[in-house]
């Protein structure tokens, strides 16, 4: 085993290998793991261990004396029969963290699946069958890494957004009569809530004639009402009738599969999802002394996890609309300074990273969450931390007027930064890209979230504020449900329980949450949905497209310097006394600027004026109407009440609403205003339009500590003679001496890497890498040269 001198500048970041004298110097230790290794081996590169559990235990041995440890995972798939658990005893330290990372450009995969190796025979028609073990826990099948379809009705339809296809008659007597034993799977009913407030799902428990019995799984905080139209059934053998569908019969161990055309099952890789979770970081107590800390996972793929929709109990989250399974592919509780960096969460069955209860200073950075069954990242405290828990079923008397939490069993100072979260909520419709509840002082920054059934970023309550939501880009949200928006928040805590007491508003929402510099897009609903009692939010420099702003039975919300375009307006609903809302220097472009809801009578403008601090000095693109549920309000009446008296009207003069900022970045439009814009006369200030969502991150290769890494201090231009050219699928590199080339996505995910000397030519084809913009870097002793590379 090679050991070398290493100094850590901060958790998760190592400086180069140097030779100096001084206190605090530690010798790093390397451990190697391979799917083909053995836990009886030494753990060296030539004799690797075979499992992550053995590597964890080896790291415990080598970290003595404050030694940093790096565990290198070689490429291949690590199938887990149980989650790998990290406790307080497995911790690293601030100066000697423990890093689990991919080795070089290799691609390790941590799987909760079971690989099918038995042979296939014809069952009937195009349906194939093989026999595996009986009574397995499996509910997803993957063909060559691609998720297939659990036998269902109606058949999967990629062109139908809601439930990938629905049928109001899926549990009609005529359909049930076709099923022999729908409880065998068991069969599942998945649908939306009756009001489309998320999902509602059931297990089929029995059949009698043409009727079934069913059990609700509890996946909605607003009750078990199933939508009359948006529903489907699955995991029923008689519904296996389309390419890609499959069914597992537990009692016999028979696995049935209707393979897509062209599939060769003799050479295909078939895997079944089995484990709910893959990694668990769980300390012994909610305190630094008992927490698990200073462990990082980097460059790993996590996949093949079970759908927690039907395997884990659901917990209703205070008086929000949400219920969730407190589980995740990576689960943390009583954890500090855990970092998940540059990992891929690929088609997982439930949540991605779940931080439950006490968590401090954890980082989720630069990851990709692709087609998750539930939410991407969650920070959710325990109900025990709330002084007066409120719920739909119980609202006991509350006399506690102490501000803030009761205990420390909640996440705080968490950073969720630069993650791409694509298509979350494939199965659980009460889900989000990023969900926060009973948490405080977190930072959610530069994330791109899209194609969501419900919210992009969600706060289920007002406990305890202080977070910053900035530079995110959320679009294509609320695709399967109603209400909500790219950003949603509730505040049904002590604020709601004491609505006539303005001093109670900040008992739980004790610190202001800031929402700034985000781009929120929606085809309907709200851009920033301050739903029931969501209070103490400062919103500025946000670009809202297709959905606007909302004031609804809440207090102390500030709306400054935002831009609302493409049919986005302001909804003012039931303004509370002493709300102290402040709305100024915004640009509103919709033909209907304000929509005043849940009001009655002709005194609406005066009521709003009396209960808000300021609505004035905005830029209105047109002489827009003010509408209410009882009719329109003229601008003369609106102004007479003291609203928008100093606002201006006219074209805001946007720079270029179709501009593309970077070739590797999809959002279009520069909504900065030109000199001479009327918005500038009321104090509007331009803000950056090219910094929303995920940003490119330069990749720094992680090498064994016994190998000298390139000196990147010289940065770009370390070798002025370096040249990079790409033509017709051929990459040409010219550089002095020996070097290493890495090609990554803008997020920093490795695509490939190779060594070269002087002039090197390799084939890089779009059919293997995918078309798009990548970051190519040449690492040598002379420095690192980086530039963008367009492959098309």
Encode pLDDT of 328-341 as tens digits. 999 999 999 999 99
Beta bridge partners of 760: 733
Among 161-175, 517-531, 674-688, name the one with the lowest average pLDDT.
Answer: 517-531
Of the candidates 434, 387, 433, 444, which has an alpha carbon nearest to the alpha carbon of residue 410?
A: 387
| Per-residue pLDDT band at 289 (split at 50, 70, 90) | very high
Instruction: Pick the range with the lowest mean pLDDT from 95-109, 198-212, 385-399.
Output: 385-399
Of 113-122, 501-510, 666-675, 706-715, the one with minimum mean pLDDT is 706-715
Sign of the Cα pseudo-torsion (468, 471, 477, 478, in order): positive
Query: Cβ of 132: how many Cβ atoms within 10 Å?
Result: 17
Say whether pLDDT at 23 is over 70.
Answer: no
The confidence band for 12, taking pLDDT boundaries of 50, 70 and 90, is: very low
Q: Identify the CA nearest to 72 among candidates 296, 309, 223.
A: 296
Distance CA 598, CA 590 (A): 21
Torsion of CA 455, 460, 466, 472, to 10 degrees: -10
Which of 379, 289, 389 shows the shortest CA–CA distance to 333?
379
Q: Is the peptide bond before 154 cis (omega within 30 degrees of 0)?
A: yes
Which residue, among 408, 430, 416, 414, has the nearest Cα to 316 in the 3D structure? Answer: 430
User: What secondary structure does DSSP assign to 608-668, as a single string?
Assistant: HHHT-SEEES-EESS--EEEETTEEE-HHHHHHTTSSTT-EES---EEEEEEE--TT---E
Read off the pLDDT of residues 408-443 as tens digits, 9 standing for 90 and up.
Answer: 999 999 999 999 999 999 999 999 999 999 999 999
Indicate whether 17 pLDDT > 50: no
On the question of pLDDT at 367 being above 50, the answer is yes
Please give the average per-residue pLDDT across 762-785, as a whole number.
73
Q: What is the pLDDT of residue 738?
A: 84
pTM: 0.87
Domains and CATH numbers, the chain: 1-111+278-383+409-421+699-709 (no CATH), 114-273 (no CATH), 448-693 (no CATH), 712-791 (2.60.40.1930)
Q: Is the pLDDT of residue 232 over 80?
A: yes
Model confidence at 662, pLDDT cuts 50, 70, 90, reads low
Other C-beta atoms lying within 10 Å of the C-beta of residue 369:
30
Whether 11 has a pLDDT exceeding 70, the answer reads no
- Position 709 scores a pLDDT of 36
- 348-352, 599-603, 665-669, 758-762: which has the highest mean pLDDT? 348-352
Most confident of 251-260, 488-497, 498-507: 251-260
Question: What does pLDDT average to over the chain?
Answer: 89
Q: How far apart are CA 579 and CA 49, in angstroms?
A: 62
Range name among 365-374, 392-401, 409-418, 638-647 with the lowest pLDDT average: 392-401
* Band of residue 760 on the pLDDT scale cut at 50, 70, 90: confident
Identify the bridge partners of residue 280 per DSSP, sorted by sequence position: 85, 331
Say what percent of the chain tops pLDDT 70.
90
List CB contacts of 312: < 8 A, sequence separation 6 or more: 276, 325, 326, 327, 350
pLDDT at residue number 713: 32
What number of residues does the chain have?
792
pLDDT above 70 (res 126): yes
**The two three-digit tokens of residue 224, written as one number:** 């078990």
Is 298 in contact with 343 (CB distance < 8 Å)?
yes
* Residue 773 pLDDT exceeds 70: no
Residue 723 clears pLDDT 80, i.e. is over it: no
Residues 6+ apart with CB under 8 A from 98: 59, 63, 68, 69, 70, 71, 90, 91, 92, 294, 295, 296
Distance CA 703, CA 16 (A): 11
* Cα 572 versus chain centre, distance: 30
Helix (H, G, I), strand (E, B) or coil at 607: helix
Distance of CA 113 to the CA centre of its chain: 22
pLDDT score of 772:
61
Q: What is the pLDDT of residue 512?
A: 96
The Cβ of residue 701 has, within 10 Å, a number of other Cβ atoms equal to 18
Per-residue confidence (pLDDT) for residue 124, from 0 to 100: 96
Task: Judge whether residue 792 has pLDDT over 90.
Answer: no
Q: How much of the chain exceeds pLDDT 90, in percent? A: 72
Measured CA to CA, the distance from residue 721 to residue 412 in angstroms comes to: 48
Residue 301 half-sphere exposure toward CB, CA atoms < 13 A:
21
- The predicted model gives 315-324 an average pLDDT of 94
pLDDT grade for 105, boundaries at 50, 70 and 90: confident
Q: What is the DSSP letter of 15?
A: P
pLDDT tens sequence across 143-154: 999 999 999 999
Peptide bond preceding 631: is omega within 30 degrees of 0, i.e. cis?
A: no
pLDDT at 647: 95
619-635 residue pLDDT tens: 998 766 788 877 788 88
Q: Any idea what the Cα angle at residue 521 is, between residues 552 and 646, rounded to 5°?
A: 55
């Amino acid at each position: 085993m090679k050991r070398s001198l290493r100094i850590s500048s901060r958790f998760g970041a190592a400086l180069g290998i140097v030779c100096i004298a001084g206190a605090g110097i530690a010798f790093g230790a390397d451990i190697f793991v391979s799917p083909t290794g053995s836990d009886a081996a030494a753990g060296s590169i030539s004799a690797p261990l075979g499992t992550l559990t053995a590597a964890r235990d080896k790291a415990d041995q080598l970290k003595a004396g404050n030694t940093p440890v790096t565990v290198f995972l070689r490429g291949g798939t690590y199938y887990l029969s149980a989650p790998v658990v990290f406790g307080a005893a497995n911790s690293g330290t601030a100066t000697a963290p423990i890093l689990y990372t991919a080795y070089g450009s290799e691609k390790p995969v941590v799987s909760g699946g079971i690989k099918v190796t038995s042979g296939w025979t014809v069952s009937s028609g195009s349906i194939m069958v093989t026999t595996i073990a009986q009574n397995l826990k499996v509910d997803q099948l993957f063909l060559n890494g691609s998720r297939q379809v659990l036998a269902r009705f109606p058949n999967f339809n990629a062109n139908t957004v809601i439930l990938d296809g629905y049928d109001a008659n899926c549990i009609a007597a005529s359909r049930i009569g076709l099923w022999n034993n729908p409880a065998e799977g068991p069969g599942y009913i998945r649908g939306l809530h009756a009001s489309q407030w998320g999902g509602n799902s059931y297990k089929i428990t029995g059949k009698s004639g043409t009727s079934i019995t069913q059990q609700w799984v509890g996946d909605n905080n607003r009750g078990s009402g199933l939508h009359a139209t948006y529903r489907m059934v699955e995991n029923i053998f008689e519904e296996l009738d389309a390419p890609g569908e499959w069914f597992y019969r537990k009692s016999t161990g028979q696995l049935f599969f209707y393979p897509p055309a062209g599939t060769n099952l003799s050479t295909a890789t078939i895997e079944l999802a089995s484990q709910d979770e893959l990694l668990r970081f769980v300390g012994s107590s909610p305190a630094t002394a008992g927490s698990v800390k200073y462990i990082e996972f980097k460059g790993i793929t996590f996949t093949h996890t079970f759908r927690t929709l039907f395997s884990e109990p659901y917990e209703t989250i205070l008086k929000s609309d949400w219920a969730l399974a407190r589980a995740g592919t990576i689960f943390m509780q009583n954890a500090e300074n855990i970092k998940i960096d540059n990992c891929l969460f690929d088609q997982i069955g439930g949540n991605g990273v779940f931080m439950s209860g006490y968590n401090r200073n954890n980082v989720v950075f630069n990851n990709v969450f692709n087609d998750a069954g539930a939410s991407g990242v969650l920070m959710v405290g325990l109900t025990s931390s709330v002084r007066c828990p409120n719920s739909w079923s119980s609202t006991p008397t509350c006399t506690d007027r102490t501000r803030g939490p009761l205990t420390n069993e909640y996440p705080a100072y968490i950073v969720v930064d630069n993650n791409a979260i694509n298509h979350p909520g494939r199965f659980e419709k009460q889900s989000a890209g990023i969900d926060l509840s009973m948490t405080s002082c977190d930072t959610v920054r530069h994330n791109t979230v899209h194609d969501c059934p419900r919210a992009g970023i969600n706060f289920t309550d007002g406990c305890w504020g202080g977070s910053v939501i900035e530079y995110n880009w959320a679009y294509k949200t609320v695709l399967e449900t109603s209400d909500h928006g790219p950003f949603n928040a509730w505040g049904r805590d002590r604020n709601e329980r004491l609505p006539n007491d303005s001093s109670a508003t900040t008992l739980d929402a004790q610190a202001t949450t800031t929402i700034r510099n985000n781009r929120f897009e929606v085809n309907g609903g709200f851009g920033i949905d301050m739903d029931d009692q969501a209070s103490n939010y400062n919103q500025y420099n946000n670009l809202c497209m297709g959905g606007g702003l909302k004031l609804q039975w809440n207090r102390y919300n500030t709306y400054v310097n935002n831009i609302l375009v493409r049919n986005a307006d302001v909804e003012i609903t039931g303004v509370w006394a002493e709300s102290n809302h402040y709305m100024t220097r915004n640009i509103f472009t919709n033909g209907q600027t304000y929509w005043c809801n849940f009001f009655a009578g002709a005194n609406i403008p005066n009521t709003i004026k009396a209960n808000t601090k300021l609505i004035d000095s905005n830029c209105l693109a047109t002489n827009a109407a003010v509408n209410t549920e009882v009719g329109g309000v003229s601008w003369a009446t609106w102004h007479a009440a003291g609203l928008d008296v100093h606002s201006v009207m006219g074209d805001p003069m946007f720079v270029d609403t179709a501009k593309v900022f970077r070739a590797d970045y999809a959002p279009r439009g520069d909504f900065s205003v030109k000199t001479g814009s009327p918005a500038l006369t009321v104090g509007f200030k331009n803000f950056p339009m090219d910094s929303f969502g995920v940003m490119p991150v330069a990749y720094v290769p992680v090498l064994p500590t016994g190998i000298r890494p390139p000196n990147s201090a010289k940065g770009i231009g370390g070798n002025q003679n370096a040249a990079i050219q790409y033509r017709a699928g051929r990459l040409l590199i010219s550089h002095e001496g020996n070097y290493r080339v890495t090609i990554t996505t803008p997020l920093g995910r490795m695509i490939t890497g190779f060594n070269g000397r002087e002039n090197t030519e390799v084939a890089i084809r779009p059919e293997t890498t995918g078309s798009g913009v990548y970051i190519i870097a040449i690492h040598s002793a002379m420095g690192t040269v980086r530039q963008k590379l367009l492959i098309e």
